[in-house]
Structure formats: structure tokens, C-alpha cells
Amino acid sequence: MIKEFTFTFEELNLLPEDLTELLGFEEDNVPEPFPGIIQQALNDAPQFCNISGGYKIFDTIDINLKEVSIQIENMIFSPSKIVTTQLKHSTAAALFICTAGAEISNHSKEISGMADPLLGYIFDVIGSATVERAIDKIQKSMGEELLKLGLNISDRFSPGYCEWSVAEQQKLFQLMPENFCGVSLSESSLMNPIKSVSGIIGIGVGLEQQGYQCRWCTDKNCIYGRIKRKKQQ
């Protein structure tokens, strides 16, 4: 089963505080001139977002904990022990792709090239926040639909995170319709548009979502991990 979604920027309800956290500020301690610039960028962002995403459900999945592998149809993934362990109770899986569109990255680069790198950077952060909020909504919708069938879903996992090689996006994209939701993949496994995400969500009775579990992950550059570690200090 394949399902696709489109969203307007307004539907995602991104707020200034969503961005200030990603920018590394405390909610009640945002220095000038950031509050005004952030609000300006949020006001302008709708015209630069082309948000779409979706997923394809595969009815069977073979997880081999010993080999640390996941087989979907004729494709064998080698993610990591982290991913295979979290998906071990899956009886099916959904592969997903979601994007904020190319326009917001292009606008970010254009503004940065016009001697306003700060505003350009904020638009870059908005692009990242937009695609994450969009896939949140897609994942929630999928979970609600599957719950009606007595099934639960796992957290989502993406190549490039949790010790899963980004190169395995090549395998993921081979299982999806070509140019799904307008996203393509380069030979070096980078997605175009840049502000895009892809990955896998497990489906099964014995699954539950635990949210970002940064203790699993060794990626010290992940912005969400940095935020969580900062909160725990």
C-alpha cells in the first residue's frame, strides 16, 4: 500500500520557540536580533515550501538479529544492531520519504549570497524543522490507521543515523516508486531536495514508540541529540 501527503506550511504550525531550540537558545533567553528575524522568516516561509511525503507498506519483513540484517522483498539492508533490535518484533514495515521541497534551500542560499547569512541560516533551520514536522504528521497518521487494525508502529529510523550507513538509501529508493514525492538520490546517496528524509518504520503488535533515544546513537553532530544532551546536563 502506498500513501502520499501534501501539507501547507501553516498546517505544520511551526512556532518561534521550535526554532530557537534548534538554534541553541533557551526559550526565555533569545538575544536580539533573533526574535524579529525568526518571526520574519516564519512569515515568509510559506511561499518557499513545497511539502510532500508518503510511505509504502511492505507486508512481510525478515529481521535477522544474528546477521544484523533486514530483508524487504529481494533487498537486504545492513543497518546496525540498534535498528534491528528496535525493529525485532516487526511483522511488516513502511518505508518513507518526505521533503520540504527545493525552494527553501534555494532561498536560504540566495539570501546568504546577498550578505545576510544569519537570515539565510534561519531559513535553513526552518527547512530542517519543516521536513521533520511533516514526517511527524505522516507517522502519526499512519499509526492511527494501523491502530484500527490492532497494529502498532515503531519509531522511525533513517540511513545516516544510529550507525546505519547513508549509502543504504540506494537500496531504500530502489524499493520505492521512482522520484517518489519529487525526491531523487545522487550517486553519493544524498537526497535532492536537500531538506528531505527517508527511512523505515516497523509495524507489528509488539511494538511501541519511545521517541528519540539518543543513548543509542553515536552521532555527536545530530542537532536533536545535542538538544537532548543539553537538557540532561
pLDDT at 28: 81
SS3 221: coil
Exposed (0-12), middle (13-18) or buried (19+): which is 43, by Cβ within 10 Å? exposed
Mean per-residue pLDDT pooled into runs of 10, the chain (233 residues): 97 95 86 93 97 98 97 97 94 98 97 91 96 97 97 96 94 98 96 98 92 59 54 50
Would the pTM of this model clear 0.85, i.e. be above it? Answer: yes
Q: How many CB atoms lie within 10 A of CB 205?
A: 10
Q: Where are the alpha helices (DSSP H) in 72-116?
A: 81-86, 103-113
Indicate which CATH number applies to the domain containing 218.
3.40.109.40
Look at residue 71 in the predicted model and tell me its pLDDT.
Answer: 98
Three cell numbers written together for 59: 507486508
Report the distance separating Cα 214 and Cα 108, nearest Å.
29
- 100: exposed, middle or buried (C-beta count within 10 Å: 0-12, 13-18, 19+)? buried
Residue bearing cell 520519504: 97
Q: Closest by alpha carbon to 76, among 66, 91, 63?
A: 63
Looking at residue 209, what is its pLDDT?
A: 87
> 197, 97 in Cβ contact below 8 A?
yes
In the chain, the number of structural domains is: 1
If one counts every other C-beta atom within 10 angstroms of the C-beta of residue 183, the result is 21
pLDDT score, position 205: 96
Q: How many CA atoms, within 13 angstroms, populate the side-chain half-sphere of residue 210?
A: 10
Domain housing 215: 2-232
pLDDT for the residue numbered 216: 56
Closest by CA position to 222, among listed 137, 142, 164, 153: 164
Helix, strand, or coil (residue 26) = strand
